[in-house]
Structure 1
Amino acid sequence: MTANERDTFDIGGELTVNRLGFGAMRITGEDIIGRPPSEPRARDVLRRADELGVNFIDTADSYGPGVSERLIGEALDATRDDLVVATKAGILRNRDGDWLAHGDPDYIRNQALTSIDRLGVDAIDLYQFHRPDPDTDFEASVHAFAELQDEGLVRHVGLSNVSVDQLETARDIVDVATVQNEYSFVNREHDDVLAACEDAGIGFIPYAPLNWGSIEDEAREAAETVAEKHDASVFQIALAWVLDHSEVTLPIPGTGDVRHLEANVAATGIELDDADRALLDR
């Protein structure tokens, strides 16, 4: 079994992680609400990721809500120096499965305390603003994260689902360590945000790096050609492309299945060449 072989990235210039991380959204129940079908199996996935050298775990208070954070706190020692656990705040959930932006500063401060408790840590390694809230001043929300950092409850601050302009606005308030936007071999809508992160040395966390499991048409044909060459799956090539595409990308594929996790980690052993890139980038 190939362990996590990619090079490392220093989040905030301090927290060194292997560049392939793990997104812990899928260890909850259906529609990311409630407990997973088997909590022991979910904890096994987390422990197996740790065994394979995945030392960057990404979650959010809204996953469950609270379920993903709790399981991480039960399965792993999030206080370890060699493990970075990131979480997010800024979204409300309901039993209908809605994702409702909520950037109220007091809410964010309260959620930081609940996340700290569930993860079993004294401070959150990386705390990310999950989504700008149209009903709350963006700068006010970011100031709440900056204040949590000043108080020692948060080590580093990140953003999610933001534009380049929002990133620059936030950087006037706080040192932004990471940006997490949807990005994949198929969906490159946020190329401009990635470029801004590269220029600033900010980690870029592509969520849905497998495009929600959908790679079709010409993109699939190209990926299948490269996959056959490397004796890999289409999805492994998609992950290899994200890792190869930029030195600041920190993809976080998620799963609730150990075998799927192992296949994702094995993608870190794929080295694309110029011919592969020419096929995949066209």
Structure 2
Amino acid sequence: MKYRKLGKTNLLVSEIGFGSWAIGGPVMAGDVPIGWGQVDDEISKKAILKATELGVNFFDTADFYGFGHSEELFGNVFGGKWNELLLATKVGNTLSDTGSASSNYSKQYILTACEKSLKRLKKDVIDVYQLHSARIQHLEQGECIEAMEQLQKEGKIRYWGISLNTFEPQKEAIFFIEHKIGYTFQIAFSIINQIALEEVIPSAVENEYGIIARVPLHFGLLTGKFSREKVFALNDHRSKRLNPELLNLSLDRLEKVFELADARGIEPIDFAMSFILSQKGISTVIPGIRTEQQAAANVKEFAPLSIKDVDFLHSFYLSDLKQLMEAYKKG
């Protein structure tokens, strides 16, 4: 495993981290699935330990994943003995009184939520605390920033940042940079979704923000294992996000990507991960991992792609995949 500096922090993170949304369990916001379907906690725990064995030292979660269950899993696995392992979690997403997805970025909410996360994680300090999809109006209001700075001064968090919106990450990233606040950006980034390359990544690199790349396999599409007949459980968010129409459209557009990977003799997963790690400024990539087998497939040393292939994939994004992202945005 190789390790990279997380921006201007003093943290060295494994270039492959552990994304834990999928192990949070099947949860709903009203009638909308926001989890990945049924999970087995014992299998999840083995996956976490396998990743650690393979050199992963950076784990990413959120208090919203399984409504705290994902955090509890880490606390139970490591039993308060985190040693040199690093944990990033998020705050701000919650449920409304009616049970639908909502958000709360008030100062008091964040301060209270941090205490609850620390208890679930069995940690004294959170290494990286992230505002979970906060938008520009929340940042301009200022309470969330006050809360993060207070938590850092109190020693309850080491560093903080923001997990940026999947489709529109620019405004919030620019706000952070212009106001010289925070340390990290978490971005949705993959061969399919290269929105962050347009402005966020170059500006983040120039200003020494650590970059955490999430959804590198785009919900499993870039594994090359999905057929057109793939059906997701109703309590899996992909049943909505990757409905049959979008699934078929995606597989049509990805044919050239898979053909190029095959021509290079590279497995689709390796090709997708190598593309991200070939980009300047990426600190760590956090694929979702549910099993020991997925840990073995996702946690290894990926060879960088050639400049020619990286350029081709970006050009192909601009000509074909960018339109696909517009379709995802429309839902």
Query: Considering the TM-score relative to the shorter chain, is it more than 0.5?
Result: yes
- CA deviations 1:63-87 (Å, max 9, x no partner) are 0110000001111256534211000
1:54-65 matches, cutoff 5 A: 54-65=56-67
Give the aligned residue type for 2:291. Answer: D
C-alpha spacing 1:26/1:170, structure 2 compared with 1 (3 Å): same
- Whether contact under 8 Å (1:207, 1:251) holds in the other structure is yes
Give the aligned residue type for 2:307. Answer: D
Match of 2:270 in 1: 236
Larger-Rg structure: 2
TM-score (norm 1): 0.87
- CA deviations 1:153-199 (Å, max 9, x no partner) are 11001111254443343356664221112121111112211111111
- Whether contact under 8 Å (2:136, 2:172) holds in the other structure is no
- Whether contact under 8 Å (1:226, 1:276) holds in the other structure is no
Give the aligned residue type for 1:122. Answer: D
Q: Determine which of 81, 89, 108 is the counterpart of 1:87.
A: 89
Q: Determine which of 264, 276, 281 is the counterpart of 2:298.
A: 264
Match of 1:253 in 2: 287
- Whether contact under 8 Å (1:202, 1:248) holds in the other structure is no
- CA deviations 1:1-22 (Å, max 9, x no partner) are xxx3x34223542111111111
Q: Give the SS at the match of 1:245.
A: coil
Match of 2:219 in 1: 212
Give the aligned residue type for 1:157. Answer: W
C-alpha spacing 1:210/1:107, structure 2 compared with 1 (3 Å): same
Q: Give the SS at the match of 1:144.
A: helix
User: Counterparts of 1:171 and 1:276 in 2: how far apart (Å)?
Assistant: 31
User: Counterparts of 2:6 and 2:164 in 1: how far apart (Å)?
Assistant: 21
Match of 1:28 in 2: 24
- Whether contact under 8 Å (2:189, 2:216) holds in the other structure is yes
Aligned-pair RMSD on alpha carbons?
A: 2.7
What runs of 5+ residues in structure 1 fail to find an aligned partner? none
Give the aligned residue type for 1:189. Answer: I
Q: CA deviation at 1:201?
A: 1.3
- Whether contact under 8 Å (2:273, 2:302) holds in the other structure is no
C-alpha spacing 1:228/1:257, structure 2 compared with 1 (3 Å): farther
1:164-183 matches, cutoff 5 A: 164-171=170-177, 175-183=181-189
Give the aligned residue type for 1:110. Answer: T
C-alpha spacing 1:118/1:47, structure 2 compared with 1 (3 Å): same
Q: CA deviation at 1:135?
A: 7.2
Match of 1:15 in 2: 11
TM-score (norm 2): 0.75
Q: CA deviation at 1:142?
A: 1.5
Q: CA deviation at 1:281?
A: 2.8
Match of 2:145 in 1: 142
Give the aligned residue type for 2:265. Answer: H
- CA deviations 1:209-257 (Å, max 9, x no partner) are 112223534544234322442342x122111101111233421110212
C-alpha spacing 1:242/1:35, structure 2 compared with 1 (3 Å): closer
Q: Which moved more, 1:85-94 or 1:135-144?
A: 135-144
Give the aligned residue type for 2:191. Answer: F
**1:225 lines up with 2:260 in the alignment:** yes
User: Counterparts of 1:42 and 1:259 in 2: how far apart (Å)?
Assistant: 11
Q: CA deviation at 1:32?
A: 4.8
Give the aligned residue type for 1:212. Answer: F
Q: Determine which of 268, 284, 307 is the counterpart of 1:274.
A: 307
C-alpha spacing 1:56/1:77, structure 2 compared with 1 (3 Å): farther
Give the aligned residue type for 1:16. Answer: L
Identity of aligned residues (%): 27
User: Counterparts of 2:119 and 2:86 in 1: how far apart (Å)?
Assistant: 16
